[in-house]
Amino acid sequence: MLSGILAASLLIGLSAIHCYWAFGGQWGQSAVIPEMEGKPLFHPGKGATLLVALLLAVAALTLCGQLGFWGAALPPGLFSWGTRVIAGAFFLRVIGDFRLVGLCKRVRTTRFAYWDTHLYVPLCMIVAVLAFCAAGDP
């Protein structure tokens, strides 16, 4: 149960950071977008950032459902399946795209690559392992 609570807490925190960015917050923004030749590859708008925040919050709520916090409101298989999908998605993020993100990235000299290696990949691995452990909880 502790693994699910920790994973859900991390996901809520990440969701809150994305909400902060969506509504104009600047802290940390300069290192969260992959870049090439010193330029960000894309500029996420408010809607896209809020969508990520929503997905992270839904993932946290799914983990809470797996832990039984929602009672019998929804079928337990839905939470079990969803928790496994969350673990899988974060494991895939750890592996990366074989170019710009993850353990298998080739571009390693940008500010984003530094933070990806030292913070984002380990954080994703922690969430993935915690979610995987929570998926086994009844």
Predicted pLDDT at 52: 98
Amino acid at 33: I
| Backbone angles phi and psi of 82, in degrees to 5 | -60, -40
Predicted pLDDT at 138: 54
Predicted pLDDT at 28: 85
DSSP string, 18-60: HHHHHTT--TTGGGSS-EETTEES----HHHHHHHHHHHHHHH
* Helix (H) or strand (E) segment spanning residue 111: helix 111-115
Predicted pLDDT at 137: 61
Q: State the Cα–Cα distance between residues 111 and 95, nearest whole angstrom.
A: 19
Predicted pLDDT at 72: 78
By CB atoms closer than 10 A (0-12, 13-18, 19+), residue 104 is exposed
| One pLDDT digit (tens) per residue for the chain, 138 residues | 899 999 999 999 999 999 999 999 999 888 899 998 888 899 999 999 999 999 999 999 999 999 999 877 788 789 999 999 999 999 999 999 999 999 999 999 999 999 999 999 999 999 999 999 999 865
Predicted pLDDT at 30: 84
Look at residues 50, 17, 47, 19 and name the one whose alpha carbon lies nearest to residue 31: 17
DSSP annotation of 70 reads T
Predicted pLDDT at 12: 98
Cβ atoms of residues 135 and 5 within 8 Å: no
Predicted pLDDT at 75: 83
